[in-house]
Structure 1
Amino acid sequence: MVSGVIHAQDTTSADGLFAAAREAAYEQKNNTNAIRLAKKALAIAPAYTDVVVFTGRVYAWSKNYDSSLHYMQQAIAADHNNEDAYIAYSDLEMWNAHNEKALAVTEEGLSYVPASRELLIRKVKILAAMRRYLEAYTAVSALADGGGGNAEVRAMMVMLRDQSCRNKVSIKLDGMWFDTSRTAFSIANDDDARFAPQRFASVELVTATRIGPWVVRANVANRFKKPGLQYEMDLYPKLSKTFYMYLNAGYGDHLEVFPRWRAGTSLFANLPHAYEAEAGVRYLYYTNDIFFYTGYVGKYISKFLVGARTYLAPSGNKFSNTTGATIRYYFGGADDFVNLVVMKGLPIDDRRINVDLFNAGTSRFAELSAKCSIKKVNIISLNLSWLQNKLPYNRQVEQYQVGIGYTKRFL
């Protein structure tokens, strides 16, 4: 059957043999026959560099790396402007975990074909694999600024953002106000403090470590006319080029203002085709243990990131459920975007919300936020949010929030 297909094609010219070789490799998955046909084409046209590169690729797929290397080097020696030859050669070295060699090949290719988007993408991936995150972030940012900002580039840029900074300091200030005018009857006097205006502030330090970014954070709040302080630590260990983790632990000194204890962990995955995903668990302790399980999936589409998240909390034989969606538009780098979040339920990871205050009701939440970077190292953030909670006994409370933040990145 295979030979019948071949005889139906032109196997007397180099072009015909090349077409038959590609069919054998891509459709029939027959690498041995593909190499045989490619060599017949090269016997007719030894300088046919497309066939030379193709032969090298098929040898690599067959794990015959020495022969593959021979053909890659032959193609580059024949034509230093052959972009595909450099791409195939760098792929070969990356597959063999020869990152230094792969980087050298990629940079040599860029010296001849500086506008090559595919070589730039490979350079970013190689630098990231070598944990040279700042260089990788600089390269992918330049690629996005130069019009190469498709979904794959956007996903890489966001992934490398925090890995690339040596240190980062942030401060955030938020104010919250409550509206109880839609309550069916007056809030009792002993509840007045619960719905008094609230203030929230946080200071955060991020520093790079060998295993991933380390975060130390202090949150200060005035809730129920009482001050409180919460200390937190986060760690984002990188497990591989696909997976990394989130680990969190926190302690609050005033039970009514913050949970006494909080902890969390998640596994993140940067998936093919610009997808990302997360699965994790959160723990809060006020006067009893509260566990939440969370899942998220998102996809980069051009300059947009769209995603969906859920929080599930065991409640007897059932699960209480929070579901939400987000859409983010990037108008520049990884820190230049407008973000909209809508949720049915409470955003459990939001420190500005006292989950214990609202967990008895049915909630709806929406937030509009924006970030803008200045020279990539100064970042301004703004956010507005609305939370509606229907409490028992026909009581309804709405919370309005406005916040501003500033981040200084040290590259």
Structure 2
Amino acid sequence: MISKLIIKITYIIAFFGVFQVSGQEIKFSGNPDTSFENARNLAFNQHRKQAQDTLLYILTKYPDYNEIRSFLATTYSWDSEYKKARKEFAYILEKDAKNKSTWTAAIKNELWADMPFAALEMTAIALKIFPDDSEILYLKATAQESTNNPIDALNTVELILDKNPEDQKAKDFKVNLNVKARHNTIGINSAIDLYSSVFDPMQYHTLKYGRQTKYGSIIGKVNFNRRFQENGLQYEVDLYPKISKGFYAYLNIGLSNSFLFPDVRYGAELYKSLPKSFEVSLGFRTLKYTTTTTIYTGSVGWYTGNSYWSFRPYITPGGAGTSSSGTLSYRKYRSDADNYLGLSLGIGFSPETNQFNFSGNEASILNLKSQKFNVGYYFTTSNKQNAWGTQFAVTHQEIIFDPGNYFWIYSLNLSWELKFK
């Protein structure tokens, strides 16, 4: 209560101490330094509009008081009014091109405005005035990273470290850039299902290679399964093409000549980012055995802090009616997207996650009752080059040929990925 009163009094002093009214004209007549200090206090106490009014009136008498104009521009950046900020920074730099603090603030404004190419052009000009300046080089590397040029950004960071090898900020940035510059990934995934009755253990193995491109990522996979005392191979390709900012797709196709897999599987899904850190998707998966089954799916995801929640339903129409299942997932991230604890709870049977040869028994299989709980932990080595993962799941599932009776399935999954340039 007292702090709010102090803020109000500060604003009253700033308003009446700074301006005098003569007819219809408002003229600044106070001490610009005192008024500037009052405006700063207002800005730092969430009263930026009042602070901006004060700063603008001071500038009517002292238009070349660069520190005031620069602070005004900075408050515009805070409020995402990047065009207004750009105009004020340009005014200062036109009159004083050697004002380094204004250059750095102006470049940051372009980065915050998601204008990395403009920021990159500004760093080129600034570095002619301030050669090898570490702060501007850092901003240049940030702009290069934002334009999807991690290799160029790495070279720029190396210039900073050549000058100051102990620059911790640059060292941390280098580690992050090294991760982004590794566009290639190879990985192995192995899993085993242990059944409490009926079936022998089933094995699932995947060898994959992925590459990140400016158009999105592409992943090729070879899947090997050993089930029902038989071996089988499947060849798959996943594509994640970028369509626009916050809008991308998932495309998949898989082929096999083994009864352990669909002869052909394919699918597509569109993902869209929404305000308030939400993401939604909608798509389908099609599995072709002797008959063809199409599963309609989608998702609703929500990022909150270091946590991520998602729900994915599966809707499978069939001759005997429509089957439905769903999975609720939660992730708690640590340092980045490759380090997290994951939990999921699933209800219902879906042929998307349970690929069996239905052999004409789609109706009975799709309506199986099933409940599943999964916990996984994923982590990387210190240089972020190797990524490891482990999952453990327990499933309570109705027996296909004995409705009303259930068995337990205990699943263990291990994965490893190596990222390289």
Give the TM-score of the pair, scaled to structure 1: 0.70
Residue 380 (structure 1) aligns with: 388
- Secondary structure of the residue that 2:413 maps to in structure 1? strand
User: Residues 111 and 283 of structure 1: is their aligned pair in 2 closer, same or farther, counting only changes over 3 Å?
Assistant: same
Amino acid at match of 1:365: K
CA distance in structure 2 between the partners assigned to 1:82 and 1:88 by the alignment: 10
Residue 313 (structure 1) aligns with: 316
Amino acid at match of 2:253: A
Aligned partner (choices 235, 238, 244) of residue 242 of structure 2:
238
Aligned partner (choices 197, 216, 224) of residue 220 of structure 2:
216
Instruction: Please state if 1:409 is matched with 2:419.
Output: yes
Cα offset, 1:317, TM superposition: 9.8
Residue 205 (structure 1) aligns with: 209
User: Residues 69 and 289 of structure 1: is their aligned pair in 2 closer, same or farther, counting only changes over 3 Å?
Assistant: farther
- Do the aligned partners of 2:270 and 2:283 also contact (CA within 8 Å) in 1? yes
- Do the aligned partners of 1:284 and 1:290 also contact (CA within 8 Å) in 2? yes
**Range with bigger deviation, 245-254 or 261-270:** 261-270
Cα offset, 1:263, TM superposition: 0.9
Instruction: Please state if 1:101 is matched with 2:121.
Output: yes
Instruction: Please state if 1:400 is matched with 2:410.
Output: yes
Cα offset, 1:322, TM superposition: 2.0
Cα offset, 1:204, TM superposition: 0.4
- Secondary structure of the residue that 2:290 maps to in structure 1? coil
User: Residues 87 and 206 of structure 1: is their aligned pair in 2 closer, same or farther, counting only changes over 3 Å?
Assistant: same
- Secondary structure of the residue that 2:101 maps to in structure 1? coil
CA distance in structure 1 between the partners assigned to 2:312 and 2:417 by the alignment: 26
For structure 2, the residue ranges without an aligned partner over 5 or more in a row are 1-11, 20-29, 158-167
Cα offset, 1:361, TM superposition: 0.2
User: Residues 408 and 242 of structure 1: is their aligned pair in 2 closer, same or farther, counting only changes over 3 Å?
Assistant: same
Amino acid at match of 1:341: S
For structure 1, the residue ranges without an aligned partner over 5 or more in a row are 1-5, 140-144, 150-156, 181-191
Amino acid at match of 1:221: N
* Percent identity of equivalent pairs: 20
Per-residue CA shift, 1:93-127, capped at 9, x if unaligned? x449535326658998993499xxxx97x965x44
Residue 299 (structure 2) aligns with: 296
- Do the aligned partners of 1:385 and 1:401 also contact (CA within 8 Å) in 2? yes
Per-residue CA shift, 1:272-302, capped at 9, x if unaligned? 5544333222111223222222222333333
- Secondary structure of the residue that 2:242 maps to in structure 1? coil
- Do the aligned partners of 2:74 and 2:105 also contact (CA within 8 Å) in 1? no
CA distance in structure 1 between the partners assigned to 2:419 and 2:15 by the alignment: 60
Aligned residues between the structures:
366
**Range with bigger deviation, 104-113 or 266-275:** 104-113
Aligned partner (choices 134, 156, 165) of residue 111 of structure 1:
134
User: Residues 264 and 89 of structure 1: is their aligned pair in 2 closer, same or farther, counting only changes over 3 Å?
Assistant: closer
Aligned partner (choices 89, 108, 112) of residue 87 of structure 1:
108
- Do the aligned partners of 1:86 and 1:106 also contact (CA within 8 Å) in 2? no
CA distance in structure 2 between the partners assigned to 1:228 and 1:66 by the alignment: 65
Residue 153 (structure 1) aligns with: none
Amino acid at match of 1:166: H
Give the TM-score of the pair, scaled to structure 2: 0.69
* TM alignment of 1:28-107, pairs within 5 A: 37=57, 39-40=59-60, 42-43=62-63, 45=65, 47-53=67-73, 69-71=90-92, 77-78=98-99, 80=101, 84-91=105-112, 94-95=114-115, 97-98=117-118, 100-101=120-121
Query: Which is bigger in relative contact order (C-alpha 8 A, separation at least 6)?
Result: 1
CA distance in structure 2 between the partners assigned to 1:368 and 1:76 by the alignment: 57
- Secondary structure of the residue that 1:253 maps to in structure 2? coil
Per-residue CA shift, 1:66-87, capped at 9, x if unaligned? 6763346668844628864442
Residue 193 (structure 2) aligns with: 176
User: Residues 246 and 163 of structure 1: is their aligned pair in 2 closer, same or farther, counting only changes over 3 Å?
Assistant: farther
- Do the aligned partners of 1:90 and 1:105 also contact (CA within 8 Å) in 2? no
CA distance in structure 2 between the partners assigned to 1:128 and 1:346 by the alignment: 43
Please say which structure displays the higher CA radius of gyration: 2
CA distance in structure 2 between the partners assigned to 1:209 and 1:292 by the alignment: 29
User: Residues 161 and 223 of structure 1: is their aligned pair in 2 closer, same or farther, counting only changes over 3 Å?
Assistant: farther
Amino acid at match of 1:48: I
Amino acid at match of 1:170: G
* TM alignment of 1:185-204, pairs within 5 A: 195-204=199-208
Amino acid at match of 2:243: L
Per-residue CA shift, 1:321-343, capped at 9, x if unaligned? 22222122223333222211111
Residue 327 (structure 2) aligns with: 324
Residue 290 (structure 2) aligns with: 287
**Range with bigger deviation, 318-327 or 200-209:** 318-327
User: Residues 299 and 45 of structure 1: is their aligned pair in 2 closer, same or farther, counting only changes over 3 Å?
Assistant: same
CA distance in structure 1 between the partners assigned to 2:416 and 2:394 by the alignment: 22
- Do the aligned partners of 1:198 and 1:222 also contact (CA within 8 Å) in 2? yes
